[in-house]
A = this chain, B = another copy of it.
């Protein structure tokens, strides 16, 4: 498939709907699996890596896990296409950077994606807009069952599914949510959330997963324990015992800000809109930061010029690879900053018409 088509449309899980979408951007479930009888990727020689890639690709395409599955050979991709897939959260940064045979399969709506030869032979993810972990888990299990009809995964009676990194052994299941916590950040309470999450053995990461900084008040929270627990226990602990508290905490912080410092919110939201409209040069980090404040303004009813879907679309489309694919050429950083500012201005003007 031509990845330029991807660059022109927003992705399903960023449509800004779903439960609790004022705080929860998206839900993600990820499953790690390895083929039985094959070494883990780090222990494979090149021939074995190629064999795994070939076998899994065939199998995934035949399994019919989506109406029409796309497969992209990452090793043969241009750099910009790899970056595009990272920006759409279809592959990880590690997967983009590696240099062995590897690929990714995904459904047309991009809610289901399977990385082949990332850290494990197979990494399956389901992404959904808002808080929809139950549905995401269900879809994950269905896809896993389909694959198991023709594949045999490394499994140990006592430990469960075996994975390249011991932290994934057991269910191989990781669930995470992308949260937008601007009010906790503004009121300096975010550190408390970090400490509480740490105590509950949850990991907090930035927008693009492991090793990335949190930009624009977006935080990815996920379970760290996969061993010794059943899937439903992991989900229950995460969705019932933990997540509602964080969401409630952010919502309360927003209410307090709104009742006591409405003018401070209006100030930040109006300044952000003004700068996005006026800038002639803008970086993606600053764009993210300003859109984050506008997003908060929208959920608090203090910004009527844009809607969540447009803001989410801007988050995605202003990333470097998307911008360059959209314009059909590679750009130097300064040219990108200019093209980004122009695109944002046009998009906001179109939205306010």
Contact = CB atoms under 8 A, between A and B. Distances in A.
Contacts of A277: 274
A294 to B, nearest CB: 12
A144 interface: no
Nearest to A277: B274
A98 interface: no
A77 interface: no
A264 to B, nearest CB: 6
A168 B338 CA distance: 53
Interface stretch (A176-184, A223-231, A265-273): A265-273
A279 interface: yes
Contacts of A266: 280
A338 B263 contact: yes
Contacts of A273: 278
Contacts of A274: 274-275, 277-278
A273 B280 CA distance: 13
Point out which of A264, A274, A338 has the most chain B C-beta atoms below 10 A from its C-beta. Answer: A274
Contacts of A264: 280-281
A94 to B, nearest CB: 35
A238 to B, nearest CB: 39
A272 B271 CA distance: 10
A263 B271 CA distance: 21
Interface string A220-254: 00000000000000000000000000000000000
A271 B275 CA distance: 6
A263 B278 contact: no
Contacts of A278: 270-271, 273-274
Interface string A272-291: 01110111110000000000
A131 B279 CA distance: 34
A277 B338 CA distance: 23
A279 B275 contact: no
Point out which of A278, A279, A281, A341 has the most chain B C-beta atoms below 10 A from its C-beta. Answer: A278
Given A271-B279, A274-B278, 15 more contacts: A263-B280, A263-B281, A263-B338, A266-B280, A267-B279, A267-B280, A267-B281, A270-B278, A270-B279, A271-B275, A271-B278, A273-B278, A274-B275, A274-B277, A275-B275
Interface of A: 263-264, 266-267, 270-271, 273-275, 277-281, 338, 341
11 contacts: A263-B280, A263-B338, A264-B281, A267-B279, A267-B281, A267-B341, A270-B280, A271-B279, A274-B277, A274-B278, A275-B275
